[in-house]
Structure 1
Amino acid sequence: MYFQLVSTLLLIYIGTLTLYFHPLRKYPGPILAALTDWYELYYNIVKGGALVTEIEKLHKFYGPVIRIGPNTLHFNDRRAYHDIYTNGSAFVKEPGFYLSFIAHASQGLLATCDPGEARIQKTLIQDHYSSQDSGFQMNLAYRSVAMDLITKYCFAQSADTLVPGFRHPTQRSIEDFFKRIWFERHFPFLTGFACKMPRTLVGWLLPRFKSYIDMKAALEHQIDRLKRNPDLISLAEHETIYHRLLNPKNQVAPSRKMLVDQAFTLIGAGSDTIGNVCTVGTFYALKNGTISQKLTMELYEAWPDGSKPLSLTTLEKLPYLTAFIKEALRFSIGVIHPMPRRANTTEEIAGYQIPPGTIVEMSTVFLHMNPDVFRKPYTFDPDRWLTEDADKMNQDFAPFSKGPRMCIGLNLAWCELYLILGNMFRKLNMKLHDRETNQRTDFDRGIKSDDLVPRWHWEDYTVSVAPFSETKLAST
């Protein structure tokens, strides 16, 4: 009885401080969100990744700034995005978020919160089927292509995930990561727990972690082999990330764990997001015949002999292909979940004075779907990027984030997108299966869940493909 009384009084005391005396008390939002961070847990796990959808509803009700945690503000104001991320020298990554949701690679660049350490790591890495009657899932195919590209580029050794059915174990490990991401975010100790358990027991108790344990073991084997025999690095067909990471100039060599974590980060970030962009872009291009026709015509005129390779430089100069890729990037969002930053000092964000220690964030969805910048934002329209007044859109175009912590692989990502989509629409005639064409594809009704990146109701769509036909092109 005494314990219950003390517990009740303590909760009342904490609640009173949080609601009436906290520096963020003037900002509106749900009372439960002001009292506990478990408000986020509820929408991430219980509601299956519905936090961003709920945030959108809250902004419509409360206004441009809402309190979604005891010490967290979310903004829906394009000025706020640039204040937090583009000009973000005063804001650092929030450790409570980054060290938990990516607990499996806590020493990788993505999880590095200290700006100085991030600059060091960034410098190390930067410096150097065919039947009309059969079909396959494009999301699996695109993710496999992206996986092979990123592993070949980073390690000079492809993961070879382009297997029948596109269900290679390495690809499944990335899928499993996104399925368990919110468990890692809210219960990060599970990752360490899984690493200490026998593999057979992991498969029984924590099946979503089994592919991670297997992939971790494979990367550790590769790294141990290189560290035992450094001459193997020189035998690679081109420079890899290990050339820099294992032999840093004027810096302490990274630990075995950091090497593994960096490899995990590069593989995950370089495959799933690119696969998502290609999946989204192809779906809308095939659903809207005008888009696919414009793409194919432009590519055919620039690349009449499809049997010969076309340079990346030439692809980059094609205006409609570029506009199509930008629209696919805008629509697919990139990372949909708000990425938190912590204010070290009193800062001004979109005209609001924010006290030090406050966690601030803004999901890119509110930037990319802003009707004041993107006319009819929920319509997939590559032509919007070919207008003369595209400057404002380019300013708010942030699929790779902005500022000092923007995606380190954005240039590689652009290369992948030009090469993958350029080759697909030049060399193949693709057609959505009939059942796909009648699905609702509104953006706001298309997102199924927030797994850090958006998951779509229709992303498992299938297509039939045939070799490119000039006769068919002439008839369209």
Structure 2
Amino acid sequence: MTSTLLFQASPGLVFTAAAGLLTAFLVYRAFFHALRSIPGPLTCRLTSLWTFYHSYIGDECTRIDELHRAYGPVVRIAANEVSIADGAALAPIYVEKGGFMKAPAYSNFDIEGHSTIFSTLDPAHRSVRSKAVVPVFSMTSIRSRQETIEECVSKLVDRLTNEAAWSRTASKETGQSRAINVLNLTRSLALDAVSSYLFGKTFGGISEQGGKMSANPFVDTLVAVGRFFFLPNWAFLTLELARARFWPDHEADASAQKVDNFASTLVQNQESDPFSYQSRLLKAGISSHETEVQCKDLIFAGTDSTGTNLATLLWHLAKRPDVYQLLREEVAEADGQDPAYNPQSLRYLDAVVREGLRISMANPTRLPRIVPPQGFAFEASNGRRYFLPGGTQVGLQVYTLHFNPKVFPEPHAFRPERWLDDPTPEMQRDWIPFGVGSRQCIARNLATTELFLAVRAIARHDVLAGAEAVGEKIEMLEWFNSKIKGEKIELVWR
């Protein structure tokens, strides 16, 4: 009888014990955790679900920015994670002594079981691969083979000129605006420039006719991974397996197969160009399969980021015809004086590209790092001191830095002139479109060169004459790699 009563009571006891343990755990996180002195909402002090949710729905950067306005420059956004909104923290976290180690979440961007140069957590693993390919990203190498990129830019100008003529004619004949999705075209340029210059073989995106470029679904699938970027790796892999099994995307699969075939061909024919990215990796002892993976990672990153940056820049130039006219005048004057000049020497063009990179933010979210065992003491610009214990995840949002009104007045306005009148040290410090420190984008020089050459060519040939930007603003989902809503940035010519 007694044993029966105990047996019947045990489920209640188990539930009570579990509830007690959970309550104690939450009380510990809220009031006794090592981060208890860092301000933040109660929800964030208790769980990471708040950040996971807002990352998924794509408003994470905006919401964290609001937390900083409410709680200050250092805020607790999860049980063991802190966001900092003060650019003074960039150097100690990302630069000094190589910076803090990347957070485990970067492993979620591994591809087919291989860590990429971007995703690997191990500096030694990265070093072997980066040392093999770094020479092709030097400005000296890029300038020596710049004609390869210029050929791609020339094809883009021709394609965009034809699309503009079609838009202008259609609008006149029908009385209705016929918009051109320039994001599709700029992605095509980015992919062709990366493949032509780095791989020695063009993908041929600009030449593709019809709707969106064939590689776009592949790129978009990897962009969508960013909504789950901050999940623990086991949860991320579980969701990805479930998505592939229960919600297959046949268009994305076909696109991925085409990219796979292209990367495979690159590796098989690597001896044709010893300069190429794939040849250098193979000579460094990297396996054929991993070399294909590294090539596909560059195809994704180069296409998405530079394509987004350039399309956003063109949209803003169409919105600001006064800026476009000044740009055209500077390019025309430089062309008349020395046709062989370096476009990056043009002061106004430099300001336009800088402002475009500031406002477009292909990677708007925080760049998470892990505080080393000795902890991290930080004195914010407001004079308050903070201490983060070892093991804390910490990062700064590009979104918050680039849209900080104290550093960039009218931060959401496209104002290239802000870079002409003695930009402040804070502006120079907080402008980080390619990240900062030893783990910043390895292809930043190539991406910048593409932008300078493309914007100069468009101004030189007056491609945006009569162009109008569609919409009041460009809306994006704030994932690790931003996703343009509707996958369109449109212009119409009249």
Aligned-pair distance for 1:88? 6.0
- Partners in 1 of 2:229 and 2:422 — Cα distance? 45
- Specify the alignment match of 2:270 in structure 1: 233
The answer to whether structure 1 residue 52 and structure 2 residue 61 are counterparts is yes
- Specify the alignment match of 1:287 in structure 2: 319
Deviates more, 1:365-374 or 1:139-148: 365-374
- Partners in 2 of 1:62 and 1:399 — Cα distance? 26
- Letter of the aligned partner of 2:360 in structure 1? S
The answer to whether structure 1 residue 68 and structure 2 residue 71 are counterparts is no
Aligned-pair distance for 1:304? 5.0
- Letter of the aligned partner of 2:413 in structure 1? T
RMSD: 2.9
Question: Which deviations, in whole Å up to 9, do the C-alpha atoms of 1:75-128 show, x marking residues without a partner?
Answer: 111212332223363510001x10124555741011111222222221112023
- Specify the alignment match of 1:242 in structure 2: 278
Q: In structure 2, do the counterparts of structure 1 residues 216 and 317 end up closer, same or farther at CA, with 3 Å as the change threshold? A: closer
Q: Is the partner of 2:76 in helix, strand or coil? A: strand
Aligned-pair distance for 1:435? 7.4
Q: 1:179 aligns with which of 207, 224, 243?
A: 224
- Letter of the aligned partner of 1:33 in structure 2? C
- Partners in 1 of 2:485 and 2:262 — Cα distance? 33
Deviates more, 1:158-167 or 1:204-213: 204-213
Q: In structure 2, do the counterparts of structure 1 residues 273 and 118 end up closer, same or farther at CA, with 3 Å as the change threshold? A: same
Q: In structure 2, do the counterparts of structure 1 residues 294 and 242 end up closer, same or farther at CA, with 3 Å as the change threshold? A: same
Q: Any residues of structure 2 matched to 1:297-446 within 5 Å, and which? A: 297-303=329-335, 311=340, 313-344=341-372, 345-350=374-379, 351-431=385-465, 436=470, 439-441=471-473, 446=474
- Specify the alignment match of 2:482 in structure 1: 454
Please say if residues 215 and 259 of structure 2, whose CA atoms lie closer than 8 Å, have aligned partners that are also in contact. Answer: no
Q: In structure 2, do the counterparts of structure 1 residues 17 and 219 end up closer, same or farther at CA, with 3 Å as the change threshold? A: farther
Q: In structure 2, do the counterparts of structure 1 residues 349 and 117 end up closer, same or farther at CA, with 3 Å as the change threshold? A: farther
Q: Is the partner of 1:394 in helix, strand or coil? A: helix
- Letter of the aligned partner of 2:325 in structure 1? Q
- Letter of the aligned partner of 1:222 in structure 2? T
- Partners in 2 of 1:17 and 1:270 — Cα distance? 44
- Specify the alignment match of 1:151 in structure 2: 195
- Partners in 2 of 1:76 and 1:349 — Cα distance? 12
Q: Is the partner of 2:24 in helix, strand or coil? A: helix
- Partners in 2 of 1:155 and 1:341 — Cα distance? 32
Aligned-pair distance for 1:366? 1.9
- Specify the alignment match of 2:3 in structure 1: none
- Partners in 2 of 1:179 and 1:371 — Cα distance? 30
Q: 2:116 aligns with which of 108, 118, 136?
A: 108
- Specify the alignment match of 1:7 in structure 2: 18
- Letter of the aligned partner of 1:361 in structure 2? G
- Partners in 2 of 1:450 and 1:369 — Cα distance? 14
Aligned-pair distance for 1:32? 2.2
- Partners in 2 of 1:94 and 1:460 — Cα distance? 32
Please say if residues 84 and 349 of structure 1, whose CA atoms lie closer than 8 Å, have aligned partners that are also in contact. Answer: no
- Specify the alignment match of 2:37 in structure 1: 26
- Partners in 2 of 1:62 and 1:121 — Cα distance? 41
- Specify the alignment match of 1:85 in structure 2: 94
- Letter of the aligned partner of 2:184 in structure 1? L
- Specify the alignment match of 2:176 in structure 1: none
Please say if residues 181 and 491 of structure 2, whose CA atoms lie closer than 8 Å, have aligned partners that are also in contact. Answer: yes
The answer to whether structure 1 residue 254 and structure 2 residue 263 are counterparts is no
Deviates more, 1:142-151 or 1:29-38: 29-38
Please say if residues 369 and 378 of structure 1, whose CA atoms lie closer than 8 Å, have aligned partners that are also in contact. Answer: yes
Aligned-pair distance for 1:294? 0.7
Aligned-pair distance for 1:347? 1.7
Aligned-pair distance for 1:292? 0.7
Q: 1:94 aligns with which of 87, 100, 103?
A: 103
- Partners in 1 of 2:419 and 2:82 — Cα distance? 32
What's the TM-score, normalizing by structure 2? 0.80
- Letter of the aligned partner of 1:460 in structure 2? K
Please say if residues 147 and 171 of structure 1, whose CA atoms lie closer than 8 Å, have aligned partners that are also in contact. Answer: no
Q: In structure 2, do the counterparts of structure 1 residues 418 and 17 end up closer, same or farther at CA, with 3 Å as the change threshold? A: same
- Letter of the aligned partner of 1:160 in structure 2? G
Q: Is the partner of 1:188 in helix, strand or coil? A: helix
Q: In structure 2, do the counterparts of structure 1 residues 58 and 211 end up closer, same or farther at CA, with 3 Å as the change threshold? A: farther
Q: In structure 2, do the counterparts of structure 1 residues 112 and 211 end up closer, same or farther at CA, with 3 Å as the change threshold? A: farther
- Letter of the aligned partner of 2:189 in structure 1? V
Please say if residues 18 and 35 of structure 1, whose CA atoms lie closer than 8 Å, have aligned partners that are also in contact. Answer: yes
Aligned-pair distance for 1:133? 2.8
- Partners in 2 of 1:242 and 1:191 — Cα distance? 31
Please say if residues 73 and 361 of structure 1, whose CA atoms lie closer than 8 Å, have aligned partners that are also in contact. Answer: yes
- Letter of the aligned partner of 2:415 in structure 1? D
Count of paired positions: 437
- Specify the alignment match of 2:6 in structure 1: none
Please say if residues 315 and 491 of structure 2, whose CA atoms lie closer than 8 Å, have aligned partners that are also in contact. Answer: no
Q: Is the partner of 2:463 in helix, strand or coil? A: strand
- Partners in 2 of 1:287 and 1:459 — Cα distance? 19
Please say if residues 179 and 208 of structure 1, whose CA atoms lie closer than 8 Å, have aligned partners that are also in contact. Answer: no
Q: Is the partner of 1:142 in helix, strand or coil? A: helix
Q: In structure 2, do the counterparts of structure 1 residues 20 and 257 end up closer, same or farther at CA, with 3 Å as the change threshold? A: farther
What's the TM-score, normalizing by structure 1? 0.83
